[in-house]
Structure 1
């Protein structure tokens, strides 16, 4: 009769099975396993008695505790609807500056407005609201129509160059295409705008000639210092933010061909509460920008 192999460390008999040098010991199932299985069986019996469980012909066993998940869900939904009605009423009726200072309302705005922004605004302005080519950075750049909560809400409501009867209108003329300026003048203006934004500075003679061109053709919308005007929705030309790119070629194209961006009017598509919530959300994004 062959002797059974024993493990040299534990002294236990092996089963003869081996995987990658690891041998299986022929040991009984630990008693704790049976205790665990017994506990699980007891729990299953108690749960079956106390909670809804077995189906029947005309229904199911409802359990001694009478728990009803359908009723629980309905109560939860009713409570959520009541909570939503409270903050929706505040968003519609209260001053936006007051709401912006309310931590509870702003917590709701941050939670609810992220998906609202992604669904309606991110396609143009980007998920982080930092803009896409042809669409402005509204998280960091100066707001062309003004950056207070009421103004932002109004811009969202009526749009820009939209079909809304109260929409905001803004258009940059096509100075080259429509022959208001010669090609050399368009190029000089592009040189000038590039120089006041990111340099280098123009020679004095060119700068003086460009400043006169700018004053006669551009300052009425962009301001004498080229820092933009909220009255006309014209952007600041001296900072680092560019809707249509800020390299010399892009600036020249803008001057030559003009620009007329469009933002839809969201009144009728979004509720008043949603529009005002988005305005607060945009301001919150801007305040979080270092």
Structure 2
């Protein structure tokens, strides 16, 4: 996959998502293409139609920063997508070796267990490398050895856990693309994208959009089978000395209903009798 035309594929996919109305182009008659035409993008970006065609076809892979920024403006790219576009155009050294299995440092593993909140370490490919017991109690698919992107699209039980699954799945794919960047000759990347493209039509549709997203600390909803609905904030922190690894911590607002439910879940994970949904929603009635 090292010879892919990543830059051309990206600008073409984003071009097809920008309507003439969004670009301020008058529309008359029937248009046969989704989004903008190549010549329209070229005109708005101030470059020749032939040069833009060469960019899309991969016959010119060294556009200037000024050209890329003009394309980003025309294609309505946000900061994350613009940064991704610039990275695609930058020279990339060839991979010289296949990396071994990623490991979590002992100090990071100790930190996980000391946290009184669901927490796990994931790789840039969303492989779960380590997790504490409360994270696994929240979702068994957060156990080490799983892949969050794969489970999100292929595991019905995981989908049922998230009421906002459709929105969350779009964000997960965009975050995955941002995390991997241009390192598309990595065997793990090839394995994940290949499997999901064959097994999930929804993944294929989302992947074809070439969305890019910086993982934000946005609240997520979890419909847990024992304690019911929880709203958890999500923090994703880079692990120093372990490039590509991130520590993900899920935490409720202090004093909230979700905080009480998470306390019940922690007690269950520690070995007490699992609470029912009724008990979780009405802790004072126990």
Report the structure, 1 or 2, having the larger strand content.
2
Structure 2 length normalisation: TM-score?
0.23
Structure 1 length normalisation: TM-score?
0.22
Taking CA–CA contacts closer than 8 Å with sequence separation of 6 or more, which of the two structures ends up with the larger relative contact order?
1
